[in-house]
């Protein structure tokens, strides 16, 4: 990435549904694969469950973000809606939280896109809208990276990236030993020099793992060695060392996996912000950004500090960035 | 020499048979083989001979005499005629038969290894012309005992990595007791992974591990990059054992046959496995599969516990296999094989272990771990 880039991350806003569901209840509803004890042992507690569809969470979150930063809807040149679950990018009909269209007009249901609905609802009349998919948990980070590039290319003033996911009723909430929450998180990019600087984003895609069911055993074996290499590569490309990083801001996969990755990489667990895993669960693609906002709000990092954000998305994608607050 | 050999159909036994046919023209070998009947015995022997020696190169009739017997049976289940013949003719004994399954239940391992050995030597006691006898053991009787393990090291209380080695340890205790009354020595062998050509004659746990690694299922090994893996070839073990047995025999002595300080560092084991795997498996070349990391024991323990909490069967398989082997890595063991290496010198050179691993892995891949053999 060009170190002289004027693009900055100006703000983050997130929405977590208030409804919290415990592990026992999830298990009783058949939404876990492992036992509640195992999930608790892995560091999980409650998960958040939305009562509105992803598109509603997304637009409310973007609206609040723009208002907070005094950005007029018409000033936004790019909106990227980066949802993980295919159902989250479609606007459901009727009362459904999420639906995969069926029936006579199913074909048209497949074109009820959330990104354009958000543009319409919020009056983002100058925003080109993009729906980003198939990136699993790196969706929002990839969206920020792409928005950064498009802003430079198109000379845009503002771009907004949003991720919102709501798990359809009845579907498992345990994904490869992680308890998933519904959430939305939006990131505002601008040219305001006061914002945070995305200094490096290293990504890696290993298409072999496209089938998380069929190749899960290999994936479990590759997860830590690959994570270690991605992290090391990011340090190398950024010219920074472990000591230069104030905090590693993770995605909320199991605390256990962070304990192990911490040992593989030599980054002490105390330097990894894992406090949100138990109360908030794994918000699929939003965790890194939710956690980044929280560590800033809690004063755990200050202006000028470097943080590293690491995430892994089924597919499989690894994404690791360094942001200067 | 009239030699009674047990375990001739095994990896070590086959190599000893080849060596004897080529290097001991005057030896007559009575090979104790288990079989349901004399007809089956004959068939087993014919099949084995065809595997050991190409047509036209078979030892002449009478040099190898198959004898029906099972070491788990008192008296080895010998017919009275065979028992009498052996008692009157045998001058030398090499007892190599064993249950080498690393994860066999302890009672099962004891039955074949401890009780079986007891049965063998009860029969050997009846041999009127006995000159010398050998018991084939393993370096891994060291169990979890850390550091340097010498030929003169016996009892320890460090515990064991698997039931197999515990049963071999207990057998050694019995064998050492026997040394007071019989001209008996024991030979502790390294982990044998194949012939010098790379051919694998019997697949064992190390090959299973190589397979899981090749298929991308292994993410970590406990230990340090320098941890030595005590690997060797069947040919070396057989040639060393028989040369020592014939030329340097000392009753009561224990011989260490292995690479010792010249063993293969764990990092090299991983790198070679990854490099050779990449020759046929594109996932290695593409980086979807990565060489496992070497981690400290605590990290491995945490990873192990975590994988066992998942429902991933392959991960469990890797863990279970590791449980039967990795204790030796974490004990940072080095086996003192110097005395034997000095005795044998260039006459029986150590196999180049890196090339050996490469060739063995190539053989495994070419035959799909023995499944594609005709
Ligand atoms: N291979 C190694 O890496 C290694 C390393 C250290 C020490 N050792 C020692 O070397 C010796 C030979 O091992 P190996 O690798 O050749 O083992 P192997 O390939 O598994 O062969 C075992 C041999 O023992 C025979 N056997 C097993 N149970 C028997 C019974 N009840 N009665 C008669 N014969 C029986 C087998 O006959 P069947 O064909 O009928 O099964 C076979 O011939 C063992 O004492 C082992 O502890 C081996």
Write down the domain spans for chain A: 8-190, 197-324
The model scores a pTM over 0.90 = yes
What would the pLDDT profile of B337-368 be if each residue is shown by its tens digit? 999 999 999 999 999 999 999 999 999 999 99
Name every chain B residue with its beta carbon within 8 A of the beta carbon of A233: none
Mutation site for A-interface testing, chosen from B300, B312, B316 by largest number of A Cβ within 10 Å: B312
Q: Are A166 and A88 in contact, with CB atoms under 8 Å apart?
A: yes
Domain residue extents for chain B: 2-196+231-259+334-351
Question: What CA–CA distance (Å, rounded) separates B144 from B4?
Answer: 33
Does ligand 1 lie within 6 Å of residue B10's CB atom? yes
The domain made up of A8-190 has a fold known as Peroxisomal Thiolase; Chain A, domain 1 (3.40.47)
CA distances from B313 to A209, A226, B370 (A): 17, 21, 22
Name every chain B residue with its beta carbon within 8 A of the beta carbon of A220: 219, 307, 310, 312, 315
Q: Are B131 and B145 in contact, with CB atoms under 8 Å apart?
A: no
**A263 inside 8 A of chain B by CB:** yes
For residue B306, give the chain A residue with the closest CA.
A256
Class at the top of the CATH hierarchy for domain A197-324: alpha beta
Predicted ipTM? 0.92
CA distances from B112 to B104, B105, B108, B119, B203 (A): 11, 11, 7, 10, 19
CA distances from B17 to A113, B20, B179, B242 (A): 75, 5, 25, 10
Residue B164 Cα to ligand 1 midpoint, Å, equals 12
Question: What CA–CA distance (Å, rounded) separates B179 from B119?
Answer: 16
A304: left (phi over 0), alpha (psi -120 to 50) or beta: left
What would the pLDDT profile of A33-66 be if each residue is shown by its tens digit? 999 999 999 999 999 999 999 999 999 999 999 9
User: Is A8-190's fold the same as A197-324's?
Assistant: yes
| Buried b / exposed e along A56-71 (16+ C-beta atoms within 10 A) | bbbbbbbbebbeeeeb
Residue B61 Cα to ligand 1 midpoint, Å, equals 25
Per-residue three-class SS string for A195-224? CEEEEEEEEEECHHHHCCCCCHHHHHHHHH
CA distances from A32 to A37, A168, A278, B335 (A): 11, 14, 16, 49
Question: What CA–CA distance (Å, rounded) separates A240 from A67?
Answer: 35
Closest CA to A312 of A214, A223, A208: A223
- Residue B183, C-beta contacts closer than 8 angstroms, at least 6 positions apart: B130, B131, B132, B133, B249, B251
Task: Going residue by residue through chain B, which has 374 residues, state the pLDDT in tens, using 9 for 90 and above.
Answer: 999 999 999 999 999 999 999 999 999 999 999 999 999 999 999 999 999 999 888 999 999 999 999 999 999 999 999 999 999 999 999 999 999 999 999 999 999 999 999 999 999 999 999 999 999 999 999 999 999 999 999 999 999 999 999 999 999 999 999 999 999 999 999 999 999 999 999 999 999 999 999 999 999 999 999 999 999 999 999 999 999 999 999 999 999 999 999 999 999 999 999 999 999 999 999 999 999 999 999 999 999 999 999 999 999 999 999 999 999 999 989 999 999 999 999 999 999 999 999 999 999 999 999 998 64
φ and ψ of A217, to 5 deg: -65, -45
Residue B99 Cα to ligand 1 midpoint, Å, equals 6
Closest CA to B363 of B348, B373, B353: B373
Q: Are B251 and B179 in contact, with CB atoms under 8 Å apart?
A: yes
Can the peptide bond before residue A316 be classed as cis, meaning omega within 30 degrees of 0?
yes
Closest CA to A212 of A36, A84, A79: A84
The domain made up of B2-196+231-259+334-351 has a fold known as Rossmann fold (3.40.50)
Does ligand 1 lie within 6 Å of residue B236's CB atom? no
């Amino acid at each position: 990435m060009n170190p002289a880039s004027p693009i900055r991350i100006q703000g983050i806003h997130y929405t977590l549904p208030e409804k919290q569901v415990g592990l026992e209840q999830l298990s009783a509803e058949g939404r876990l694969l492992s036992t509640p004890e195992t999930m608790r042992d892995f560091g999980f507690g409650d998960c958040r469950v939305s009562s509105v569809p992803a598109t509603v969470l997304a637009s409310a979150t973007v609206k609040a973000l723009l208002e907070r930063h005094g950005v007029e809807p018409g000033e936004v040149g790019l909106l990227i809606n980066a949802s993980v679950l295919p159902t989250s990018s479609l606007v459901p009909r009727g009362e459904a939280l999420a639906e995969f269209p069926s029936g006579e007009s199913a074909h048209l249901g497949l074109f009820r896109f959330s990104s354009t609905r958000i543009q319409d609802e919020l009056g983002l009349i100058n925003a080109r809208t993009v729906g980003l998919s198939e990136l699993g948990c790196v969706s929002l980070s990839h969206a920020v990276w792409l928005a950064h590039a498009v802003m430079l290319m198109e000379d845009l003033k503002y771009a907004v990236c949003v991720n919102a996911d709501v798990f359809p009723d009845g579907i498992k909430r345990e994904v490869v030993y992680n308890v998933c929450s519904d959430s939305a998180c939006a990131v505002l990019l601008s040219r305001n020099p006061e914002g945070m600087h995305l200094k490096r984003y290293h990504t890696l895609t290993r298409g072999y793992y496209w089938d998380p069911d069929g190749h899960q055993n290999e994936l479990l074996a590759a997860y830590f060695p690959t994570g270690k290499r991605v992290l090391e590569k990011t340090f190398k490309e950024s010219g920074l060392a472990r000591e230069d990083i104030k905090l590693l801001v993770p995605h909320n996969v199991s605390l256990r996996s962070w304990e192990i990755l911490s040992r593989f990489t030599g980054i002490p667990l105390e330097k990894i912000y894992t406090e949100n895993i138990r109360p908030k669960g794994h918000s699929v693609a939003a965790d890194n950004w939710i956690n980044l906002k929280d560590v800033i709000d809690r004063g755990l990092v200050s202006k000028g500090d470097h943080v590293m954000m690491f995430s892994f998305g089924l597919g499989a994608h690894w994404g690791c960035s360094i942001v200067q607050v | 020499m009239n030699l009674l050999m047990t375990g001739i159909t095994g990896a070590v036994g086959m190599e000893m048979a080849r060596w004897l046919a080529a290097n001991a023209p005057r030896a007559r070998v009575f090979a104790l083989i288990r079989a349901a009947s004399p007809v089956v015995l004959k068939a087993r022997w014919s099949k084995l001979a065809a595997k050991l020696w190409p047509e036209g190169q078979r030892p002449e009739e009478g040099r190898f005499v198959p004898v029906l017997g099972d070491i788990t049976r008192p008296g080895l289940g010998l017919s009275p005629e065979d028992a009498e013949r052996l008692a009157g003719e045998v001058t030398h004994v090499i007892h190599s038969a064993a249950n080498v399954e690393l994860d066999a239940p302890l009672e099962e391992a004891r039955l074949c290894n401890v009780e079986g050995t007891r049965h063998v030597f009860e029969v050997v006691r009846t041999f009127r012309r006995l000159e010398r006898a050998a018991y084939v053991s393993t370096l891994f009787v060291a169990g979890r005992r850390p550091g340097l393990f010498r030929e003169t090291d016996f009892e320890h209380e460090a515990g064991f990595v698997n039931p197999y080695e515990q049963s071999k340890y207990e057998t050694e205790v019995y064998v050492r007791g026997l040394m007071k009354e019989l001209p008996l020595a024991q030979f502790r062998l390294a982990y044998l992974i194949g012939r010098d050509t790379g051919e694998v004659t019997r697949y064992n746990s190390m090959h299973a591990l190589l397979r899981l690694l090749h298929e991308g299922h292994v993410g970590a090994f406990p230990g340090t990059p320098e941890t030595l893996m005590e690997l060797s070839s069947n040919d070396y073990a057989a040639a060393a054992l028989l040369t020592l047995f014939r030329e340097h025999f000392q009753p009561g002595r224990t011989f260490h046959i292995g690479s010792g300080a010249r063993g293969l560092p764990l990092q090299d084991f991983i790198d070679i496995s990854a490099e050779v795997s990449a020759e046929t498996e594109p996932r290695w070349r593409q980086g979807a599969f990565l060489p496992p990391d070497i981690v400290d024991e605590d990290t491995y323990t945490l990873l192990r516990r975590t994988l066992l909490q998942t429902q991933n069967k392959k991960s469990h398989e890797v863990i279970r296999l590791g449980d039967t082997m990795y204790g030796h890595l974490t004990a940072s063991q080095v086996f003192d094989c110097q005395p034997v290496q000095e005795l044998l010198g260039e006459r029986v050179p150590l196999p180049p272990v890196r090339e050996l691993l490469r060739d063995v892995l190539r053989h495994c891949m070419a035959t799909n771990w023995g499944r594609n053999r005709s």
